[in-house]
Amino acid sequence: MKKIASYIIYTILIACIVCACSSDIDVRQDYTFEITHLPVPKRLKKGETAEIRCQLNRYGRYENTTYQLRYFQPDGQGTLKMDDGTVFLPNDYYDLTKETFRLYYTSESEDQAVIDIYFFDSFGNSSFLSFSFNNDNSEEE
């Protein structure tokens, strides 16, 4: 009787293990993210540069995820550079290789300047930053 009971228990145990196993492993690769930044000046003189300190915040980590950025300037004129010296052209894609980075915007406008920066990952997720700089035409003493 003990032998039959132990066979039944082992059979049930093996059946549970076989049913619990699956060849479909669910590995998550697609995580959202956002770009945060420290405060930036709201007013710039023509030729003045604003530093934009940024941080990539991932809400999960998959090491093979790549990140890119592109920017547009709907109002005004100026140049945007990465902390490694790369000068960005509007509407072109650039690889983002660091999680902590600095952008430098130099105003070339007599009026308001606006830059929109879009960040993308290799899975189609995106984050957006927009900065507006008014012309500081005050005279220094």
How does pLDDT run across 56-99, given as a tens digit for each residue?
Answer: 999 887 878 999 999 999 999 999 999 999 999 999 999 999 99
Domain for residue 42, yes or no? yes
Q: What is the pTM of this model?
A: 0.76
How does pLDDT run across 93-130, given as a tens digit for each residue?
Answer: 999 999 999 999 999 988 899 999 999 999 989 999 99
Distances (CA, A) of 14 to 4, 5, 22: 15, 14, 14
Domain for residue 140, yes or no? no
Residue 29: per-residue pLDDT: 73
Residue 14: per-residue pLDDT: 73
Q: What is the DSSP letter of 21?
A: -
Say how many CA atoms lie within 13 Å of 130 toward its Cβ. 5
- 89: domain CATH number is 2.60.40.2410
Q: Identify the band that residue 141 occupies on the pLDDT scale cut at 50, 70 and 90.
A: very low
How does pLDDT run across 39-59, given as a tens digit for each residue?
Answer: 999 999 999 999 999 999 998
Range of the domain at 82: 33-135
Residue 54: per-residue pLDDT: 96
Number of folded domains that form the chain: 1
Domain for residue 3, yes or no? no
Interstrand relation of 43-44 and 126-135 (parallel, antiparallel or unpaired)? parallel
Domain for residue 128, yes or no? yes
Domain for residue 22, yes or no? no
> 132 near 111, Cβ under 8 Å?
no
